[in-house]
């Protein structure tokens, strides 16, 4: 069987691309699109950094501001993730359930391991999307262009949230001149995978 026609190998390869996406800033899967629906039923999509992917837990982890509108749209709700790897010519359309965690020891560990520069954006004075009188980073003036100290970053901690996606389905599409291929894998049927029309 050719590797591109072996369903378990395809699923493992899709996860290996996601794992790489979580670990390698240069991977095109490092910045997937995360889509949600608001309380009016309107769709919202935005690019986010994929921090970690784990096949054994069927999970993805991302970071965000706890005050951002997407948190309410996503916590405990369905989520869609879209990513395309041009080198592999593979599109992944992932669906799952999102969960936002802010307080436990795992989140604390992730916060402490982030660089001070990465943590600095959580010092923003207003929730993302707040109207501003003019162009601004939203950061307090005293920290613009500077790395905060461990002490200065303390007040940012309540604004830090981790977004966990429990993956329930992966729709894999591979583009090739010899013929496109598409398969859908669902946790509900043990990730067995089914071929579908591209």
Ligand X SMILES: Cc1cc2nc3c(=O)[nH]c(=O)nc-3n(C[C@H](O)[C@H](O)[C@H](O)COP(=O)(O)O)c2cc1C
Applying CB under 6 A, does 48 fall inside the site for ligand X? Answer: yes
Is 62 one of the binding residues for ligand X (CB under 6 A)?
yes
Q: In this structure, what token pair is assigned to residue 175?
A: 């583009």
Which one, 49 or 173, has the nearer CB to ligand X? Answer: 49
Could you give the 3-state DSSP secondary structure of residue 181? strand
Q: Which of 19, 37, 49, 169 binds ligand X (CB under 6 A)?
A: 49
Rounded alpha-carbon distances, angstroms, from residue 81 to 60, 62, 159: 10, 11, 23
The reply on whether position 46 binds ligand X by CB under 6 A is: yes
The sign one gets for the Cα dihedral 42, 74, 169, 179 is positive
Q: Which stretch binds ligand X (CB under 6 A): 65-73, 142-150, 169-177, 188-196?
A: 65-73
Measured CA to CA, the distance from residue 193 to residue 190 in angstroms comes to: 8
Nearest approach, Cβ of residue 136 and ligand X (Å): 15
Site size toward ligand X, by CB under 6 A:
15
Closer residue to ligand X (CB): 12 or 33? 33
CB 184 within 8 A of CB 171: yes
**From 6, 12, 16, 44, residue interacting with ligand X (rule: CB under 6 A):** 44
Q: Write down the least CB distance from residue 7 to ligand X, Å.
A: 31
Judged by CB under 6 A, which stretch of 18-26, 67-75, 80-88, 137-145 contacts ligand X? 67-75
Contact 12, 47 (CB under 8 A): no
C-alpha span between 17 and 12 (Å, rounded): 9
Query: Residue 133 is encoded by which pair of tokens?
Result: 């009188």
Binding of residue 64 to ligand X (CB under 6 A)? yes
Question: Judged by CB under 6 A, which stretch of 8-16, 59-67, 75-83, 187-195 contacts ligand X?
Answer: 59-67
Give yes or no for residue 61 binding ligand X (CB under 6 A). Answer: no
**Biggest alpha carbon distance in the chain?**
61
Contact pick of 12, 47, 106, 176 for ligand X (by CB under 6 A): 47
Q: Cβ distance 113 to 154 under 8 Å?
A: no
Distances (CA, A) of 2 to 15, 91, 143, 163: 19, 19, 55, 36
> Which spans of this chain sit near ligand X (rule: CB under 6 A)?
31, 44, 46-49, 62-65, 68-70, 128-129
């Amino acid at each position: 069987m050719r590797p591109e026609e072996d369903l378990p190998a395809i699923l493992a390869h899709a996860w290996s691309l996601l794992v790489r996406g979580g670990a390698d800033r240069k991977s095109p899967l490092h910045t997937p699109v995360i889509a949600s629906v608001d309380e009016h039923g309107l769709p919202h999509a935005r690019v986010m950094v994929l921090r970690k992917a784990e096949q054994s837990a069927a999970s993805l982890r991302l970071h965000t501001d706890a005050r951002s509108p997407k948190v309410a749209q996503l916590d405990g709700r369905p989520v869609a993730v879209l990513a395309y790897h041009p080198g592999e010519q593979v599109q992944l359309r992932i669906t799952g359930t999102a969960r936002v965690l802010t307080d436990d020891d795992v989140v604390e560990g992730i916060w402490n391991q982030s660089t001070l520069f990465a943590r600095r954006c959580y010092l923003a004075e207003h929730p993302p999307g707040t109207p501003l009188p003019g162009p601004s980073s939203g950061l307090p003036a005293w920290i613009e262009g500077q790395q905060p100290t461990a002490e200065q970053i303390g007040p940012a901690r309540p604004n830090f949230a981790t977004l966990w996606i429990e993956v329930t389905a992966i729709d894999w599409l591979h583009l090739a001149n010899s013929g496109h291929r598409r398969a859908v894998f669902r946790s509900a049927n043990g990730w067995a995978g089914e071929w579908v029309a591209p």
